[in-house]
Structures are given as structure tokens and as C-alpha cells.
């Protein structure tokens, strides 16, 4: 029976990537009762927004509980990831917290596959030898104090992976720009990029400029046909993307601080430092040097790797978090240099090199990188399996509100261990406040139940200031106009409709204090507990505005 | 030439079917705690939304690009077209619950039209 070694190898690599990325983390299940394996607020931000768009049926506006209660805040986040996740959710039957997350992992694997195609255009054996390095996008070690690349998935840097998927598609397209009507594909990929994660769009434009310069340098010809194609692509791109780009301009661009040159050597966010490659760095540096001799033969795969190395090093010239995010994909972008070193070394030893040799060596490195066997100073994947920040009890608390309260109800969250990752509170699907931890602990130390606590209005305020549209090119900002640019408020507990009161905490004194507050509240005949489980209670105030705690508070013995 | 294209279409469609079965097996192994029907539905959804639309649209370049390239790049094409179209369709008032049926089907129809035109021109 005839078989294609290359294709079998690619299926194995794809399976290994999915195993390392998703299967282990997710306890080998696709369906979960609650958002599973999410480890930070940003992940819940995307999960809650996807669910909100699904419920609304469109992304005209932000779900109001994400925008501080405002129902006219424009849907501002790049929409492609959410729409793909929701469409996939409906057809697959998976909840959005699984469907969106699964797509992020699959797109991460596909970035590796497209890089394979790009490198294959250079040399098939180099491509086979390169791709195993991609496993390291799921490694937990950064080579420094930062969390490793895998945290990019678990902490919620999701749109960047979708963006990089389209970015690398642009790289592939430029390597195949001679295709008839290639401008159609370029327009589609650029539009996908702009509407998935707009910062990578800037990288794409820069890369195209570098590609044209390199093309001219190596061919000594100025191909006007390529410029014509670019013009067509730009026109189609503008037509497709204009609507969203206007929103992007009046939200992100107008509300974010301007670019400032800043060197950031380290980050608390997911990253990968060159030292994180361990001894593999020698292969990469050697391959980088080798590649200089092949630039004239086929420059695009090589300059793609060099380009992303330079972008990843952008933390030294002001790119900040955008640079660190690219670094988490360095195992893919720099893989060509790794593969080139292996191939050149192999060819030096074995003159008649066969694909089977590449596959064999590729399998060895694949097993090494997934950690089946360890070697000193060789980075490898380490299994992570965790339900994440959420648990079924808190999930049931959050989901209770959707079916049991009016849409205009306001919920107040007392301290809870997981509530610091406050985007998860948006799953209550109600306007909500969270108590300020410092003010809360001060009250505990002062042994007083206060009527008013410093609190924070829940929502995605710092992003785009709850922008709303006045006209096609005219926007207002609720955050600055009505909130004076702060979501911090002093909240009178007696004004709230509902309270979520955790009775379990890693800090027993806080759990005790929570319980005392609950007891004080329910002493009022118009306040009652309406739901309870092992970790938390929901208490309803049937007369918000009426005195429920004395103005001077309640002193504790 | 038209017969050649038909044969190619049949052969590649069979390859897609084999790949579909392979991915089902892969998913069932990786997510072994999940029931078979859930796995089948998830893989079907991946193929329906991401693989098939782009693959058949990429037939426009079937003479210049090999099967594997059109398959993988076709996923990027599907993702971009369906993601963007879903956003705009939603803004225009069509609830997103219908997009998963309408958009891949529309892409497939466009893809088959491309194949028909390709066959006719030859």
C-alpha cells in the first residue's frame, strides 16, 4: 500500500500539538459545564463577550454588563474571533466557552501548519525538520521570570493567535504572489487580520513593504504588476474593513495613550526569552547564519523568520506587550532556522538525504519537545491539567441571575477569592459592582460593618471608555462624560438589588466577615437569601434605597 | 480537460472524506472522555465551517496549488470570509444563529460555481 510519509507526519504533529495544547488541559473532554482551563481575567473577558454576542444575536453593541450598564456602547472589539467561535458553537453544539477556546488552540496549531507550507516552498526536508519545534508554543517556561508561552492561551491572549494566523497567511500569500488574482486572497487575509487583531495588521503592512524591497534587491527588477495587485488588494480591503476600522479609530486609537519609546526588558505577561530555547538556541543561531547563504535562492521564508525575530525583540524599541506576544510564537516563526541547521548537518553527514530521514529525526525531536524523554537544557512541554479559576459552584451562582432577575437588576459582589479576575463576574449578565479589597480589609481591621464601601463598577472600561456613536464619524464616551474617567465609586449597600456573598475563602477571617454582613442584611424583613450553594449565597433586597444598615455602620464585638 | 477536473474533484473529495475520518479518530483519541456523537459533531462543524468552504473556493487555483496547500490555506480563507460576513450580517439584522448554515453553504455554492467555470473554460 502506497503511503505518503510527509502527510502522515503532519497528521501526527497536528495531533501532538492539539494534545499538548488542549486535550491535557481540558481533561480529555470537549464539553465542560463551565469555562474550563481559563486562568486569568482576559480569558473570561473574551469568553463573556462571545456569550453576550451569541445571546444578542449580533455585535452591534457591547453586552451592557460588559460596558458598565450602558446599552448603547458600540461593539468595539475586533469581531472575527467571536463570530467564528459562536458560529462554531451553534454547529458543534459546544458552549461558547469551549468553542472559542478550542478554535484558539486549533488556530495555534494551524499557524504551525502554514509555517510548514512556507518553509516547504524553501525546502521540504527543512520544513519537516522545523515543525516539531512548534510544540514549544505550549511550554510553561519562558527562560525568565515571566510565565511561558502556554500562558498566552490560558491567560486569554486569544485574539493575538487569530491575528497571527492571518498574519502568517499573508506571509504565505506573499511567497505565492504570482498566483493569478492573488490580490483577492491578500484582501481577504488583510481584512481577516484587521478584524481579528488589528495590531498584527500593522506587522503585515510592514512585512509587505520589506518583501517588496527584498524582491527588488534580489531580482533587480521593479515588478509593477505586483504594485498593481497591491492596489487592487488595498481597494478591496478598504471596502470590506472600512466600517470596523472607523469604529477602531474612534475607540482604540482615540482612547489609548500615544506611542512612546520605552524599553521593557521583562514583562509579567506571557513571553519567551531567547534563553528559554536552551541549547536549541545554538541550532537557531547557526541556522540564522546558514540562511544568509540561501537568501538569494528563496528569501521569503527566511525574512519571515528574521522579521518576526525583530518584531519579537520590539520590547527594546517600544512595541511593549505586542512584542512579548509575538515571542510566544517564536517556536514557530524561528523554526526554519532550527530545521535548516538540522538539514545542513544531516546533508553533511549523509550525501543522499531522503524524506524518511527527515521524518525520523523530526519524530525524535517531536518526542523530545513533548517531554517523552528529557535531555539537559532542551526545553520541553510540561503537562498542565486544571479546571482553571472557575468552579461549578461559582458558575451556578453567576448563572442564576440570567433566568431569575430583571435585566436592570444591579448585583454587588462582596469579596471572593476568584473575583479579583473580575471579568468572570460579567457572566452574571447584570450590571455589577465589586467591593474594593483594600477598603474591605480596612473595615475588617477596624471591626466594623460599613454601609458604604469603595467599589468598582464592573466592565471593560479602560479599553475604550464605553464609546457610543453619535454619528458615523462622531463618538461620545460615557466613561469620561458620566463617570469622570473612573469606575471607582462609593457604593451604598442598601441601594443594591442583589448581593453575592461567599462564605468560603482562603482567608477565613474574610469568609467570616462576609457571613456577618449577610446576617446583618437578612435581619431586615425585606432582604432574603434566594439561592445558596456550598460556597456562596445570593441575597435579594426587595426594597433597594431603604435603610438596611445604619449610616454609622455596625460595630463588631 | 473537463473530465480531468471531474476526476480530480472526485479524488480530492475522497481525500477530504478520508481526512475527516482521520480527524474524527484523532479527536476521539485525544478527547477520549467525550462521547462519540459529541466528537463527531465537533469535527463535522470544523469541516463544515472551516475546511469545506475554503477548500472548494480555492479550486480557482487548483492548477497552481497542490491539494494540501489548498486545504490548509482554504481554512484561512473560510475563516476570514465567514468571520467577516457573520459580523456584517449580524449588524444588518440576521441573527447569528443562522450564520453557521447560510455562510458555509453560500461559500460552497460559490466554490462549486468556480469549479463549474473552471471546467467550462477548459
Q: What are phi and psi of B59, to 5 degrees?
A: -65, -15
Q: How far is CA B9 from the centre of its chain?
A: 13
Q: Cα–Cα distances in Å, from A6 out to A444, B60, B67, B73?
A: 64, 25, 13, 17
DSSP assignment string, A275-341: GGGTTHHHHHHHHHHHHGGGTTT-HHHHHHHHHHHHHHGGGGTT-THHHHHHHTTHHHHTHHHHHHH
Tell me the C-alpha distance between B52 and B115, whole Å: 14
Axis crossing angle, helix B36-46 with helix A80-92, rounded to the nearest 10: 140
| A61: nearest CA partner in chain B | B91
Chain A residues near residue B64 by CB distance under 8 angstroms: 179-180
Contact between A83 and B82 using a beta-carbon 8 Å cutoff: yes
pLDDT computed for residue A257 by the predictor: 75
Q: Cα–Cα distances in Å, from A534 out to A425, A504, A521, A523?
A: 18, 8, 20, 22
Burial code of A448-474, b = ≥16 C-beta within 10 A, e = fewer? ebbbbbbbbbbbbbebbbbbbbeeeee
The predicted-structure confidence for B28-42, as pLDDT tens digits, reads as follows 999 999 999 999 999
Q: How far is CA A151 from the centre of its chain?
A: 9
Closest approach of B3 to chain A, Cα-based (Å): 23
Interface probe, candidates B35, B43, B87, chain A, greatest A C-beta count within 10 A: B87
Closest approach of B55 to chain A, Cα-based (Å): 13
Contact between B34 and A86 using a beta-carbon 8 Å cutoff: no
Interface probe, candidates A30, A78, A124, A191, chain B, greatest B C-beta count within 10 A: A30
Contact between A87 and B69 using a beta-carbon 8 Å cutoff: no
Contact between A195 and B83 using a beta-carbon 8 Å cutoff: yes
β-strands A410-413, A498-502 pairing:
parallel
- SS3 of A452, please? strand
Tell me the C-alpha distance between A274 and B118, whole Å: 49
Query: Pick from A87, A166, A180: which is nearest to B99 by CB?
Result: A87
Q: Residue A39 half-sphere exposure, CB side, CA atoms within 13 Å?
A: 16
Full pLDDT tens readout for chain A, 557 residues: 557 899 999 999 999 999 999 999 999 999 999 999 999 999 999 999 999 999 999 999 999 999 999 999 999 999 999 999 999 999 999 999 999 999 999 999 999 999 999 999 999 999 999 999 999 999 999 999 999 999 999 999 999 999 999 999 999 999 999 999 999 999 999 999 999 998 899 999 999 999 999 999 988 888 889 999 999 999 999 999 999 999 999 998 888 777 777 788 889 999 999 999 999 999 999 999 999 999 988 899 999 999 999 999 999 988 888 899 999 999 999 999 999 999 999 999 998 999 999 999 999 999 999 999 888 999 999 999 999 999 999 999 999 999 999 999 999 999 999 999 999 999 999 999 999 999 999 999 999 999 999 999 998 866 678 999 999 899 999 988 887 777 788 999 999 999 999 999 999 999 999 999 999 999 999 999 999 999 999 999 999 999 999 999 999 97
Take residue A2 and report the three cell numbers written for it: 502506497
Which residue's C-alpha cell is 479599553? A463
Tell me the C-alpha distance between B115 and A397, whole Å: 53
pTM of the model: 0.96
Predicted-assembly ipTM surpassing the 0.95 threshold: yes
Interface probe, candidates B42, B48, B63, B65, chain A, greatest A C-beta count within 10 A: B42
Q: Residue A475 half-sphere exposure, CB side, CA atoms within 13 Å?
A: 25
Closest approach of B13 to chain A, Cα-based (Å): 16
CB pairs under 8 A between A and B: 157
H or E segment to which residue A492 belongs: strand A488-492
Chain A residues near residue B57 by CB distance under 8 angstroms: none
Query: Pick from B27, B61, B72: which is nearest to A114 by CB?
Result: B72
Contact between B96 and A53 using a beta-carbon 8 Å cutoff: yes
| A58: nearest CA partner in chain B | B90
Query: Pick from B34, B49, B65: which is nearest to A87 by CB?
Result: B49
Chain B residues near residue A17 by CB distance under 8 angstroms: none
Contact between B76 and A113 using a beta-carbon 8 Å cutoff: no
Amino acid at each position: 500500500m502506497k503511503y505518503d510519509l510527509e502527510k502522515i507526519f503532519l497528521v501526527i504533529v497536528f495531533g501532538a500539538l492539539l494534545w499538548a495544547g488542549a486535550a491535557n488541559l481540558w481533561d480529555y473532554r470537549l464539553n465542560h459545564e463551565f469555562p474550563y482551563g481559563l486562568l486569568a481575567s482576559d480569558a473570561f473577558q473574551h469568553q463573556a463577550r462571545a456569550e453576550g454576542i451569541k445571546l444578542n444575536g449580533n455585535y452591534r453593541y457591547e453586552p451592557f454588563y460588559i460596558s458598565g450598564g450602558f446599552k448603547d456602547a458600540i461593539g468595539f472589539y475586533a469581531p472575527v474571533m467571536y463570530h467564528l467561535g459562536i458560529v462554531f458553537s451553534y454547529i458543534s453544539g459546544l458552549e461558547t466557552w469551549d468553542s472559542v477556546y478550542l478554535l484558539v488552540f486549533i488556530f495555534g496549531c494551524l499557524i504551525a501548519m502554514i509555517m510548514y507550507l512556507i518553509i516547504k516552498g524553501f525546502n521540504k526536508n527543512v520544513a519537516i525538520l522545523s515543525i516539531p519545534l512548534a510544540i514549544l508554543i505550549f511550554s510553561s517556561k519562558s527562560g525568565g521570570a515571566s510565565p511561558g508561552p502556554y500562558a498566552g492561551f490560558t491567560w486569554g491572549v486569544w485574539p493575538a493567535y487569530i491575528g497571527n494566523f492571518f498574519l502568517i497567511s499573508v506571509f504565505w500569500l506573499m511567497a505565492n504572489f504570482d498566483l493569478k488574482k492573488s490580490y483577492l486572497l491578500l484582501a481577504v487575509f488583510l481584512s481577516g487580520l484587521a478584524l481579528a487583531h488589528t495590531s498584527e495588521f500593522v506587522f503585515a503592512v510592514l512585512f509587505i513593504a520589506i518583501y517588496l524591497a527584498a524582491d527588488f534587491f534580489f531580482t533587480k527588477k521593479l515588478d509593477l504588476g505586483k504594485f498593481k495587485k497591491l492596489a487592487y488588494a488595498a481597494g478591496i480591503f478598504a471596502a470590506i474593513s472600512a466600517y470596523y476600522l472607523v469604529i477602531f479609530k474612534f475607540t482604540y486609537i482615540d482612547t489609548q495613550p500615544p506611542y512612546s519609546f520605552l524599553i521593557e526588558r521583562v514583562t509579567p505577561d506571557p513571553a519567551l526569552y531567547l534563553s528559554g530555547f536552551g541549547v536549541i538556541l545554538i541550532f537557531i543561531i547557526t541556522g540564522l547564519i546558514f540562511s544568509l547563504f540561501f537568501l538569494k535562492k528563496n528569501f521569503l521564508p527566511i525574512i519571515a523568520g528574521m522579521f518576526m525575530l525583530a518584531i519579537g525583540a520590539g520590547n527594546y524599541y517600544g512595541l511593549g506587550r505586542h512584542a512579548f506576544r509575538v515571542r510566544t510564537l517564536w517556536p514557530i516563526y524561528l523554526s526554519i532556522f532550527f530545521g535548516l541547521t538540522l538539514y545542513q548537518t544531516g546533508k553533511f553527514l549523509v550525501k543522499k538525504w531522503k524524506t524518511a530521514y527527515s521524518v525520523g529525526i523530526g519524530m525524535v525531536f517531536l518526542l523530545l519537545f513533548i517531554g517523552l524523554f528529557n535531555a539537559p537544557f532542551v526545553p520541553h512541554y510540561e503537562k498542565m491539567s486544571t479546571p482553571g479559576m472557575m468552579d461549578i459552584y461559582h458558575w451556578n451562582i453567576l448563572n442564576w441571575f440570567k433566568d431569575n432577575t430583571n435585566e436592570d437588576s444591579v448585583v454587588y459582589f462582596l469579596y471572593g477569592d476568584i473575583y479579583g479576575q473580575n471579568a468572570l463576574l460579567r457572566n452574571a449578565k447584570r450590571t455589577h459592582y465589586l467591593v474594593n479589597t483594600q477598603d474591605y480589609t480596612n473595615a475588617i481591621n477596624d471591626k466594623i460593618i460599613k454601609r458604604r464601601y469603595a467599589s468598582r463598577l464592573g466592565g471593560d472600561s479602560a479599553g475604550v471608555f464605553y464609546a457610543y456613536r453619535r454619528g458615523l464619524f462622531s463618538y461620545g464616551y460615557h466613561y469620561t462624560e458620566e463617570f469622570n474617567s473612573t469606575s471607582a465609586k462609593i457604593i451604598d449597600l442598601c441601594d443594591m438589588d442583589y448581593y453575592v456573598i461567599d462564605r468560603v475563602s482562603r482567608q477565613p477571617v474574610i469568609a467570616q466577615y462576609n457571613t456577618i454582613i449577610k446576617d446583618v442584611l437578612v435581619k431586615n424583613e425585606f432582604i432574603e437569601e434566594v439561592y445558596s450553594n456550598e460556597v456562596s449565597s445570593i441575597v435579594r433586597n426587595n426594597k433597594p434605597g431603604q435603610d438596611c444598615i445604619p449610616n454609622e455602620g455596625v460595630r463588631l464585638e | 480537460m473537463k473530465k480531468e477536473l471531474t476526476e480530480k474533484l472526485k479524488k480530492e473529495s475522497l481525500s477530504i472524506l478520508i481526512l475527516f475520518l482521520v480527524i474524527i479518530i484523532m479527536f476521539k483519541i485525544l478527547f477520549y472522555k467525550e462521547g462519540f456523537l459529541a466528537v463527531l459533531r465537533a469535527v463535522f462543524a470544523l469541516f463544515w465551517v472551516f475546511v469545506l468552504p475554503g477548500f472548494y473556493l480555492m479550486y480557482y487555483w487548483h492548477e497552481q496549488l497542490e491539494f494540501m496547500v489548498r486545504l490548509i490555506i482554504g481554512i484561512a480563507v473560510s475563516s476570514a470570509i465567514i468571520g467577516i460576513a457573520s459580523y456584517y450580517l449580524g449588524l444588518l439584522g440576521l441573527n447569528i444563529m443562522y450564520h453557521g448554515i447560510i455562510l458555509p453553504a453560500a461559500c460552497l455554492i460559490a466554490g462549486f460555481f468556480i469549479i463549474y467555470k473552471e471546467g467550462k473554460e477548459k
